[in-house]
């Protein structure tokens, strides 16, 4: 996937207003199945797999023993003891090695990443595009997964905050499907818009906003951590953090005025000039026309409404801690 | 590709229009097309003295920040407030309203060392 096909602004606007398609073939797909698969995944991941019904998907995190994030992923239940797992491209090998190391007898883990092409079709008109390209095929409800009669997998999930779906086809068919969606009026979009869209929603990107040194509690992802289920890797650290609070928290920051676009690694300072941290992500939000970003700040500086500054090449731009998402998409159908 | 015949260019995609001892500087049509969607321009301070090759302004798209270098040595005598207010002028009119700064050049003969339109076309072709 290139950074952009035509322009990040145009592609971003297409997804917010109509529909855009991202080639996400680089992402990883694992199949987990066999007696005990549910119980095992529940020990490997933060969210409660037992709550997942047939054909449903769930955002979850895989942690190291210190409670730091190895990867964030989406898990779909395709049977009583079978799951389709979509992981980040850069983490396929590491995730697979980690899971393999902990794999119990009787559970099978398969890396099918090379066998699947993936397209994320996103935007308010994506369901209509699906109906055009796959007439008669059912589009699953939000967060759901379904198989098409042609052997493709369609998941009603995404990374933009808009209605849409992720469509996985046998690798050799990827190009043909992309052409079909484009012919149905869906705009090809690149990595630039993918990043601006997810950041407006405050969705974290692993490797930028998530790391093996940060826990989901620090990252504000406690909603996806089920401390009350069985024991799971990293649980002890997370329970302690939940009870005692964390030293740092991932916050959303928004410029209070116009300014140079904030970007990852720019310094965050108190109004008096004390260094507080650095941006993990930052962008000039195409929808808001204002700088937005995320940073791990000391808890005392993480309260909503706290005023800070962001350093851009020596100039300090005032920003304020705000609630995520930065942008609210139109209600979904 | 729009490469006006009366301008000189740099390999880093700035253009120069010399009038008397004043050189107006902007970025080429090719550069604005590559950057797409300019969302911010950081202008140099008036009175700043720059040497050829010094980062003098910054043009930012959604994705990246790009330095704009002084094509020749001189003193910044003007910076275009219009592109500060409406950065998209750099996209829509790169050789006109989208100019970025003006230099009082140290040595007008320096301009002869810059790329001719033909040389610039050959570079980006």
Q: How is A47-89 classified by DSSP, letter by letter?
A: S-GGGPPTTBEEEEEEE-TTS-EEEEEEEEEEETTEEEEEE-G
Question: In this model, does residue A65 exceed pLDDT 80?
Answer: yes
Per-residue model confidence as pLDDT tens digits over A188-214: 999 999 999 999 999 999 999 999 999
- Please give, rounded to a whole number of angstroms, the shortest distance from the CA of B85 to a CA of chain A: 10
Question: In this model, does residue A311 exceed pLDDT 80?
Answer: yes
Determine whether the interchain pair A263/B42 forms a contact, defined as Cβ–Cβ distance below 8 Å: no
Total residue count of chain B as it appears in this document = 125
Residues B47-58: what's their mean pLDDT?
Answer: 98
Q: Where are the alpha helices (DSSP H) in B16-116?
A: 29-35, 81-85, 89-92
When CB atoms are compared, the residue of A8, A263, A313 closest to B37 is A8
Query: What is the spatial distance between Cα B32 and Cα A72, in angstroms, rounded to a whole number?
Result: 37
What integer pLDDT is reported at residue A333 of this predicted model? 56
Residue A37's pLDDT band, with cuts at 50, 70 and 90, is: very high
Query: What is the spatial distance between Cα A145 and Cα A167, in angstroms, rounded to a whole number?
Result: 10
**Mean pLDDT, chain A, integer:** 97
Residue A125's pLDDT band, with cuts at 50, 70 and 90, is: very high
**A242 membership: H or E segment, kind and range:** helix A235-244
Whether B1 is in a domain gets the answer no
Question: In this model, does residue A1 exceed pLDDT 90?
Answer: no
Query: What is the spatial distance between Cα A82 and Cα A38, in angstroms, rounded to a whole number?
Result: 8
Whether B121 is in a domain gets the answer no
Determine whether the interchain pair B42/A260 forms a contact, defined as Cβ–Cβ distance below 8 Å: yes
What integer pLDDT is reported at residue B116 of this predicted model? 97
Whether B114 is in a domain gets the answer no
Whether B78 and B43 have beta carbons less than 8 Å apart is answered as: no
Residue A332's pLDDT band, with cuts at 50, 70 and 90, is: low
What is the DSSP-derived secondary structure letter of residue A43? H
What integer pLDDT is reported at residue B1 of this predicted model? 78
- CATH number of the domain to which B50 belongs: 2.40.50.100
The class (CATH top level) of A8-199 is: alpha beta
Query: What is the spatial distance between Cα A123 and Cα B79, in angstroms, rounded to a whole number?
Result: 40
The secondary structure of A281-316 as a DSSP string is: EEEEETTTTEEEEEEEEEGGG-STT-EEEEEETTEE
The class (CATH top level) of A247-327+329-333 is: mainly beta
Query: What is the spatial distance between Cα A312 and Cα B101, in angstroms, rounded to a whole number?
Result: 21
Whether A173 and A188 have beta carbons less than 8 Å apart is answered as: no
Could you give the dihedral angle defined by the CA atoms of residues A37, A42, A46 and A48, in that order, rounded to the nearest 10 degrees?
100
Residue of A nearest to B42 (CA): A260
Whether B113 is in a domain gets the answer no
Please state whether the peptide bond connecting residue A249 to the residue before it is cis, i.e. omega within 30 degrees of 0.
Answer: no
Q: Where in chain A is the domain with CATH 3.30.1360.120?
A: 8-199
Q: Which of B23, B41, B24, B29 is nearest to B86 (CA)?
A: B41
What integer pLDDT is reported at residue A61 of this predicted model? 98
Question: In this model, does residue A124 exceed pLDDT 60?
Answer: yes
Whether A107 and A158 have beta carbons less than 8 Å apart is answered as: no
Exposed e or buried b for every residue in B12-41, given b needs 16+ CB within 10 A?
Answer: ebbbbbbeeeebbbbbbbbbbeebbbbbbb
Per-residue model confidence as pLDDT tens digits over A130-187: 999 999 999 999 999 999 999 999 999 999 999 999 999 999 999 999 999 999 999 9
Q: List CB contacts (< 8 A) between A313 and chain B.
A: 42, 58
Question: Exposed/middle/buried for A3, CB within 10 Å: 0-12, 13-18, 19+?
Answer: middle
Residues A215-233: what's their mean pLDDT?
Answer: 97
Q: Which of A153, A175, A183, A196 is nearest to A292 (CA)?
A: A196
Whether B81 is in a domain gets the answer yes
DSSP, collapsed to helix, strand or coil, labels residue A10 as helix
A180 — contact with chain B (CB < 8 Å)?
no
N-term to C-term CA, chain A: 29
A13 — contact with chain B (CB < 8 Å)?
no
Backbone φ and ψ for A5, nearest 5 degrees, come out as -90, -50
Question: In this model, does residue A314 exceed pLDDT 90?
Answer: yes
Q: List CB contacts (< 8 A) between A283 and chain B.
A: 62
Question: In this model, does residue A331 exceed pLDDT 80?
Answer: no
Query: How much of chain A exceeds pLDDT 90, in percent?
Result: 97
- Measured N-to-C along each axis, helices A174-183 and A126-133 cross at an angle, to the nearest 10 degrees, of 120
Exposed e or buried b for every residue in A79-117, given b needs 16+ CB within 10 A?
Answer: eebbbbbbbbeebbeebbebbeeeeeeebebebebeebb
- Please give, rounded to a whole number of angstroms, the shortest distance from the CA of B117 to a CA of chain A: 26
Query: How much of chain A exceeds pLDDT 70, in percent?
Result: 99
When CB atoms are compared, the residue of A4, A192, A261 closest to B39 is A261
Residue A330's pLDDT band, with cuts at 50, 70 and 90, is: confident
How many CA atoms does the CB half-sphere of A295 hold within 13 Å?
A: 33
| pTM tops 0.80 | yes
A26 — contact with chain B (CB < 8 Å)?
no
Determine whether the interchain pair B65/A3 forms a contact, defined as Cβ–Cβ distance below 8 Å: no
Residues A19-43: what's their mean pLDDT?
Answer: 98
What integer pLDDT is reported at residue A171 of this predicted model? 97
Query: What is the spatial distance between Cα A264 and Cα A243, in angstroms, rounded to a whole number?
Result: 30
Whether A37 and B92 have beta carbons less than 8 Å apart is answered as: no
Residues A98-102: what's their mean pLDDT?
Answer: 98
When CB atoms are compared, the residue of A6, A260, A286 closest to B62 is A286
Its domain, for residue B31, covers: 8-108
The secondary structure of A118-165 as a DSSP string is: EEEEESTTHHHHHHHHSTTPPPPPTTBEEE-TTS-EEES--SSSSSEE
Lowest pLDDT segment from A4-13, A29-38, A108-117? A4-13
> How many domains does one find in chain B?
1
What integer pLDDT is reported at residue B99 of this predicted model? 98
Q: Which of B107, B111, B56, B52 is nearest to B79 (CA)?
A: B56
Total residue count of chain A as it appears in this document = 333
Query: Dihedral of CA A38/A78/A51/A120: which sign?
Result: positive
């Amino acid at each position: 996937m290139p950074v952009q096909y035509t322009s990040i602004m145009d592609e971003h606007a297409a997804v917010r207003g109509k529909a855009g398609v991202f080639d996400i073939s680089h992402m990883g797909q694992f199949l987990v199945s066999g007696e005990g698969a549910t119980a095992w995944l529940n020990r490997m991941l933060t969210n409660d797999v037992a709550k997942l019904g047939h054909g449903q998907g769930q955002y979850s995190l895989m942690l190291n023993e210190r409670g730091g994030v190895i990867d964030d992923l989406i898990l779909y239940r395709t049977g009583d003891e079978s799951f389709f797992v979509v992981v980040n491209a850069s983490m396929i090998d590491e995730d697979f090695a980690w899971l393999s190391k902990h794999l119990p007898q009787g559970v099978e883990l398969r890396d099918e990443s090379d066998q699947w092409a993936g397209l994320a079709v996103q935007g308010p008109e994506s369901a209509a595009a699906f109906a055009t390209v796959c007439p008669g095929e059912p589009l699953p409800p939000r967060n759901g997964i379904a198989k098409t009669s042609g052997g493709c997998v369609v998941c009603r999930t995404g990374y933009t905050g808009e209605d849409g779906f992720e469509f996985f086809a046998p690798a050799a068919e990827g190009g043909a499907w992309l052409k079909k969606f484009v012919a149905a009026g869906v705009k090809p979009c690149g990595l630039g818009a993918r990043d601006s869209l997810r950041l407006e929603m405050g969705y974290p990107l692993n490797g930028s906003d998530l790391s093996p040194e940060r826990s989901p509690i620090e990252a504000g992802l406690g909603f996806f951590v089920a401390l009350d289920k069985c024991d799971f890797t990293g649980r002890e650290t997370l329970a302690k953090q939940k009870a005692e609070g964390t030293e740092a928290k991932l916050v959303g920051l928004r410029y209070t005025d116009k300014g140079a676009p904030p970007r990852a690694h720019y310094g965050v300072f108190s109004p008096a000039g004390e260094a507080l941290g650095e941006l993990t992500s930052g962008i000039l939000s195409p929808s808001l026309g204002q700088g937005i970003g995320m940073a791990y700040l000391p808890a005392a500086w993480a309260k909503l409404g706290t005023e800070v500054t962001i350093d851009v090449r020596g100039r300090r731009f005032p920003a304020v801690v705000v609630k995520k998402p930065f942008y609210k998409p139109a209600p979904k159908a | 590709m729009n490469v006006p015949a009366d301008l000189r260019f740099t390999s880093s995609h700035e253009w120069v229009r010399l009038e008397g001892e004043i050189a107006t500087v902007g970025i080429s049509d090719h550069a604005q097309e590559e950057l797409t969607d300019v969302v911010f321009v950081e202008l140099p301070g008036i009175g700043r003295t720059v040497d050829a090759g010094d980062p003098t302004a910054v043009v930012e798209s959604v994705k990246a920040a790009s330095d704009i270098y002084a094509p020749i040595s001189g003193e910044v005598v003007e910076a275009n407030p219009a592109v500060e207010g409406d950065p998209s002028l750099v996209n829509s009119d790169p050789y006109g309203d989208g100019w970025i700064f003006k230099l009082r050049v140290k040595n007008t003969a320096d301009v002869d060392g810059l790329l001719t339109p033909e040389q610039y076309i050959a570079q980006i072709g």
